[in-house]
Structure 1
Amino acid sequence: MARQQKTIITCAVTGAIHTPTMSDALPYTYDDIAAQAIDAAEAGASILHLHARDNETGAPSVNTDDFAPFLPRIKQATDAVVNISTGGSLTLSIQDRINPAATFSAEMCSMNMGSMNFSFHPLAKRYGDDDWKFDWEKEYVANSDGNIFRNTFRDIAEAAKTLAPHDIKFEHECYDVGHLYNLKFCMDIGLFKAPIFVQFVMGILGGIGADIDNLVFMKKTADKLFGDDYRWSILAAGASQIPMATTASQMGGHVRVGLEDSLFIKRGELAESNAQQVAKIRRIVEDLGSAIATPDEAREILDLKGGDRVNF
């Protein structure tokens, strides 16, 4: 497909994988999530991908009461597109996971396109028993090798049909090439309409590896399946975040960074904030000759409903 004239930067602010012990910069209180999201938007992110957390312990949450304190603050302070996660827990039902997006009728939300063994248990080995800040963290991380991140065709259909009245644009998260075929099937039966927005998710244990050959293969497959009916972005976990985003930006793709996907600004050095990661990829993309999309330009590229039609 033709290269986009401008590059959209998405920032995934906190996620549901990393825990407070892993980085002091990871936001989990309502105030910190709001502040870091706003700073990321000011640094150049036109889309903010948001999860919620318990304000006291930092545990991942899909409770709408944990979204309500920061969503209006972000909207008041920035024009960035708000994208609410529907993957906020690896163990909860799809009904629980889509409830925040439905409640707040966001412009965008994530849509995971297949079930997988999503695991991050090796991270637990980096910390001793007495290193964890909160009691829930060690078990949460160490036991993730027993989880199946469930996203069946029935789950996907239920999410799509429940959220359809809200005119929400989905960020279709594809962790492997088979997920692209799942998405094509769902389009063929009328669950999603073009233009779709595909997020190639690379480097997660249980999904496709983060390397250029795999990126090229994913894009060629998407080109074959969707033609001109899709826009695409990449997120790569850990140390692959910036290198893979740089490559994707030169292939005509959009990019996603943020502390959800990597806690580092470069190998061996923890990032100070989400905004630092946004500023870095913005500088790289602009130095390589591309322009960064504003929020309104992102809305036009992705055919979004507009920030005046959300419920927060």
Structure 2
Amino acid sequence: MNPNVILTCAVTGAGDTPQRNSAVPVTPEQIARSAIEAAKAGASIAHIHVRDPDTGGVSHDSAHFREVVERVRAADTDIVLNLTAGGGGDLFPQLTGGELRAGPGSDLQTPAERHAPVGELLPEICTLDCGSLNFGDMVYLNSADWLREQAALVRDAGVKPELECFDTGHVRFARQLIEEGLIDDEPLFQLCLGIPWGAEADTQTMLTMRDRLPANAHWAAFGIGRMQMPMVAQAVLLGGHVRVGLEDNLYLSKGVKADNAGLVEKAAGIVEALGARVMTPAETRARLGLRTPGGKL
């Protein structure tokens, strides 16, 4: 069991969830406020996507990331910032008249474009998704060469990558990045469970992925939807850290819609009921060897 747990709150994500739960933050001000509320509820890390303030849809605009980061850093409540760098990989293949093309909803970026907000704002952590996936009806694209390029950009910026793994092959490729020297220091893994059609959100799958991590790895895991809280308990018991938040789950209990602070409070209660404790942001930085906010390592 892990007695000292890092608790991440994934604040908003990129799905069409604002239409299903009005607590999902959309504007930079709302996202920053929700991250601060999660910190006050006990979160160690805030995982940040941004949205188009007018439509609520996906955005990669560095200006929106900057506003969120500046608002959070200016607050009197500390939290580690983890910016997504995994956007711009969405492909909806469309075959029309025998011609294959990217269909409506596709959103593709180069590694440099994905990295731009990270390189500009220098968060303590950013995500690095470690492979492609049939993500529901969409294909999420991450070629090996593109991931190598992106990993080098993250390394050279001095930001710690969170290696997001949606299936066992992603863990294998992440180990390859480490062997090639593209990941510095002790690696940080996030095991992403329950997303169709990736790794399942169950004990055996989490254990299988955990057992394939490098010996010096830090790791966390999360489940989506109703499996969010069961995977919190399971990750702690298997020695890992945890993640909750409205990116992954919209409900506090059956039929009761959540907000981020409520999900953090519930997860912290599970951690404490198991005899563990949630680490502070300062303790998290020390444990993971993170830079100071906005600065160098």
What SS is found at the alignment partner of 1:34? helix
1:100: Cα distance to partner?
A: 1.2
Q: Following the alignment from structure 1 to structure 2, what is the Cα–Cα distance between the partners of residues 308 and 30?
A: 18
With over 3 angstroms needed to count, the CA separation of the structure-2 counterparts of 1:263 and 1:171, relative to structure 1, is same
Q: Which residue of 2 aligns with 1:211?
A: 202
Counterpart of 1:245 (choices 216, 221, 232) is 232
1:163: Cα distance to partner?
A: 2.1
What SS is found at the alignment partner of 2:211? helix
1:97: Cα distance to partner?
A: 1.9
Letter in 2 for 1:282: A
Letter in 1 for 2:82: N
What SS is found at the alignment partner of 1:265? strand
Q: Which residue of 2 aligns with 1:170?
A: 161
Unaligned segments of structure 1, at least 5 residues: 120-144
1:181: Cα distance to partner?
A: 0.6
What SS is found at the alignment partner of 1:10? strand
Unaligned segments of structure 2, at least 5 residues: 91-106
- 1:133-177 deviations in whole A, cap 9, x for unaligned? xxxxxxxxxxxx1x3211111111111112222211111000011
1:201: Cα distance to partner?
A: 0.3
Q: Which runs of 4+ in 1 moved over 6 A?
A: none
C-alpha contact (below 8 Å) 1:19/1:59 kept by paired residues: no
What SS is found at the alignment partner of 1:309? coil
Q: Which residue of 2 aligns with 1:190?
A: 181
Q: Following the alignment from structure 2 to structure 1, what is the Cα–Cα distance between the partners of residues 80 and 6?
A: 11
**How many aligned residue pairs are there?**
277
Name the structure with the higher helix share. 1
Letter in 2 for 1:84: L
Q: Which residue of 2 aligns with 1:21?
A: 19
C-alpha contact (below 8 Å) 1:18/1:260 kept by paired residues: no
Counterpart of 1:266 (choices 253, 256, 259) is 253
What SS is found at the alignment partner of 2:133? coil
Letter in 2 for 1:15: G
Letter in 2 for 1:44: G
Q: Which residue of 2 aligns with 1:92?
A: 108
Q: Quick check: 1:284 aligned with 2:270?
A: yes
Q: Quick check: 1:234 aligned with 2:232?
A: no
Q: Which residue of 1 aligns with 2:122?
A: 105
User: What do you get for the CA RMSD once the two structures are aligned?
Assistant: 1.4
Mapping for residues 55-204 of structure 1, pairs under 5 Å: 55-77=53-75, 78-89=77-88, 90=90, 91-93=107-109, 94-119=111-136, 145=137, 147-204=138-195
C-alpha contact (below 8 Å) 1:44/1:279 kept by paired residues: yes
- 1:98-117 deviations in whole A, cap 9, x for unaligned? 21111111110000000111
Q: Following the alignment from structure 1 to structure 2, what is the Cα–Cα distance between the partners of residues 258 and 174?
A: 18
C-alpha contact (below 8 Å) 2:15/2:57 kept by paired residues: no
C-alpha contact (below 8 Å) 1:15/1:51 kept by paired residues: yes
Task: Compute the TM-score of the two structures, normalised by the length of structure 1.
Answer: 0.85
Letter in 2 for 1:31: E
1:291: Cα distance to partner?
A: 1.1
1:238: Cα distance to partner?
A: 0.7
Counterpart of 2:212 (choices 221, 241, 247) is 221
- 1:172-200 deviations in whole A, cap 9, x for unaligned? 00001111110111111111123101100
C-alpha contact (below 8 Å) 1:8/1:254 kept by paired residues: yes
C-alpha contact (below 8 Å) 2:16/2:57 kept by paired residues: no
C-alpha contact (below 8 Å) 2:2/2:238 kept by paired residues: no
C-alpha contact (below 8 Å) 1:15/1:88 kept by paired residues: no
